Amino acid sequence: MSVSTLNQFEPDVLPGQIALTAGHHHNILNVMLMPTALTTYAGVSAGYAVSWQQGESLTPLVKNAMENASDAQIGVALVSQKKDDYVSGDMLEIATNNTDIYVLASGAISRGDNVYSASQGTVSKAGSGNPVLGVALDDAADGQVFRIRVRGI
């Protein structure tokens, strides 16, 4: 397991990092990644979108949003100094409603576009029928890290 190293002298933004330039409150939830392994997308990394998962737990349960593409995408997994990747049963923090967070673009995205998680750890411009994860705050080219405001919950 590798742990992300943040350079204090030349900080690069990472997918899953909160955009601290915004002057508003950040909505962060502590959740558990579904305790039983799912068939296709069992893990989550920083910058990945998550959806609610039904089940009995004192802690809210989530799953990788790619497990069922039609489910509402409620938030984005945050960067952690302790772990890069989360597996079934792990606790993690997610950015939710009205939180500005950095994500990785898949394709060209313009400021104001609705975005959704189209593949593992990336977001694309949302079309009709796609669950909206958030709205783009910056223009972005394919493969660029940029800010979105999560609309999640």
In a domain, residue 66? The reply is yes
Regarding predicted confidence, which is higher, 26 or 5?
Answer: 26
Between the CA atoms of 135, 138, 139 and 140, what dihedral angle is there, to the nearest 10 degrees?
-90
In a domain, residue 8? The reply is no
The CB-based long-range contact list for 111-114 (8 Å cut-off, 24+ gap) reads 111/136, 111/137, 111/138, 111/139, 112/136
**What is the CATH classification number for the domain harbouring 77?**
2.40.340
Residue 2 pLDDT greater than 70, yes or no: no
User: Binning pLDDT at 50, 70 and 90, where does residue 81 land?
Assistant: confident
Domain that holds residue 50: 28-95
- Distance, CA of 64 to CA of 139 (rounded, Å): 26
In a domain, residue 5? The reply is no
pTM of structure: 0.84
Contacts of 58 (CB under 8 A, 6+ apart): none
